[in-house]
Amino acid sequence: MGLVEESMAVGKGGRHVSLDVYVMSRCPDAVYAVGFLKSRVLNHFSNAPRDIDGAAGRRGNITTHVHMLLDWLTPETSSSQRVFNGQGVEIEDYQEGRDYECRHGHLECVGNGVALAVEAATEGRSPRGLDFLDAWFRQGDSLDHIGKVPSRELDDALADPAAGPITASEVKRVWEILGETGESKEAMAMVAASGAAARKKGIQYSATVVLNGETVAVRDGGQWKETEASGLGDDAAAWVMYIERLMG
């Protein structure tokens, strides 16, 4: 899934802000980061201006995308150029997973594919991808349900109003991508392509948060590891004000 590189003005709210979250679907740091961004940061931005500690903003000015990370077994990928979701990504043996593995086991690869299938089926309509992943995480007390396809928890997450609107045709498209078990060639190709694109950008850790193309924070080992430019941590008001400054 590609980064959004848009800086055009959107109404009175100012410039557009792209929020990209790089995660692994069964990673505890991903669960925390996605939940924090959804409930404590993005929920501060409504469709109408709203004051939050002196900051005001619009959710419609923030485009979110989720990207799934992999652990690579070889120094570099090779083989022929293939195109997924309009982006050319070099990837070898994606259908058999010979060049990568998922850090938290086989189900994580499937879970990564589910998240990407939802983004693809909704054409990356923000905020569906991030909000869906948050809803899916919240279906259980642990991550045991992530990557199990089909499952009641997955159906419930797709239908969760908190994950935003989704049409019947989009749900159908999700299942067309995933296949009966979530391990279709198309789904696994999307997983490999997303991982390869992140690798080319030098992103390694789940979860990595990128705003307007700049890494602002990494959640790893149960703590935030901010870049020198941000220092945001768990301070939701600081995140809101940081995004507001990007909006201008």
Residues (pLDDT < 70) of the chain are 1-14, 46-58, 74-98, 124-127, 229
Q: Give the pTM.
A: 0.82
Which residues in the chain belong to E strands, given as ranges? 17-23, 62-68, 71-72, 81-84, 87-90, 100-101, 208-211, 214-220, 223-226
pLDDT of residue 127: 62
pLDDT of residue 124: 60
SS3 87: strand
pLDDT of residue 156: 95
Q: Are 153 and 140 in contact (CB under 8 A)?
A: yes
SS3 238: helix
pLDDT of residue 2: 29
Q: Are 194 and 25 in contact (CB under 8 A)?
A: no
- Nearest one of 202, 205, 210, 219 to 243, comparing CA atoms: 210
Q: Write the DSSP assignment of 205-231 as a string of letters.
A: SSSEEEETTEEEEEEETTEEEE-TTT-
DSSP class of residue 68?
Answer: E
SS3 11: helix
pLDDT of residue 58: 65
